[in-house]
Amino acid sequence: MRRRNGAALETATFATAVQHIDAVERKPLYHWRPGSRLLTLAAPGCSLRCGYCINYRLSQFGRSGGEEWTGQPADPASIIELAAENGCAIGFSYTEPSLAIELTLALAGLGGPRGIPVLWKSNGFMTPEAVAMVAPVVRAMNIDVKASDDRAHRKLTGGALTPVFETIAALRAQGVWIEISTPLIPGTSDSPEQLATIAHTLADIDAAMPWHLLRFTPTFQMAGRSNPSLPADLAQAREIGLRAGLKFVYIERALGADGRDTRCPGCRQTVVERGIWSTETVHLSGGRCPHCEYRLEGVWE
């Protein structure tokens, strides 16, 4: 994604192949300003090489199995104007935004004074130096945790798992709102033991981080090699997360509204009702439950 050209250092990631408006719930981010809209961008490439990636045509740009890049150079000023006109935050998704730090910093520099925040959907595979650069400017992230141990993570993605958990902990410590996504990948993150390991590790960092359990859909290099996750498996995974001490465990579709709605940890009443990619009703007042006054963790306004 970067190269030296004489005395200059060039990057391919000051660009985007995607520029559309969608819901913050689609990242998914359930506890960050529900109902917000994002102007979503995708610079090329990824620091990992997951064999099941549904966005491989964009994320694996430059590798075998990817396709020709069709993006355009990004103009930060124009992007910020478009976001302002549509009342949007800026979201990076589909590819790995940590490869587009320069574009992130440019957009945050222009958008911050105008109240236009930047959000990421990331794999979390970052150095401490990269975390230090983005923590002051990225307001929220959804980070993938795809395995329970380093060996399985390396086999699936080509990268180590420990840096992912270190990134999550460092970003939370610096005040970035974090939510986690875990696809139930056969042999990697779908057994009760693997899920319990992930859940306990997340709870030790911050039990209030929402954990999104995703149905695994085999595609790319894993197409035809496994079956999609069953609703019963997702329901079991949710119970594992709750038993591990996580306060908020979500399933987008397979369990209907029951999997998406937020229940107060204090009294278990439903306090946020959601559609698949939308927030329908927020019953909180100042982030507090109207029934028991418990203050739910998140950025609600």
pLDDT digits 0-9 by tens, 32-51: 999 999 999 998 888 777 77
Q: What DSSP element (H or E) covers 11?
A: strand 8-11
pLDDT digits (tens, 9 = 90+) for 172-189: 999 999 999 999 999 899
98: which strand partners? Answer: none
Smallest CA-to-CA distance from 117 within 177, 160, 58, 174 is with 177
Mean pLDDT, the chain, integer = 91
The mean pLDDT value for 241-249 works out to 98
Task: Name the least confident of 20-29, 67-76, 84-93, 127-136.
Answer: 67-76
Query: 289: annotated binding-site residue?
Result: no
User: How would residue 21 be classed by pLDDT, with cut points 50, 70 and 90?
Assistant: very high
DSSP-assigned states of every residue in 237-277: HHHHHHHTT-S-EEESSTTTHHHHSEE-TTT--EEEEEETT
Q: How does DSSP classify residue 42?
A: -
What domains can you pick out in the chain, each with its CATH number?
2-282 (3.20.20.70)
Per-residue model confidence (pLDDT) at position 5: 66
Residue 64 confidence (pLDDT) above 80? no
Query: 46: annotated binding-site residue?
Result: yes
Per-residue model confidence (pLDDT) at position 6: 75
Query: 88: annotated binding-site residue?
Result: no
Cα 90 versus chain centre, distance: 14
Q: Which residue has the higher pLDDT, 210 or 224?
A: 210
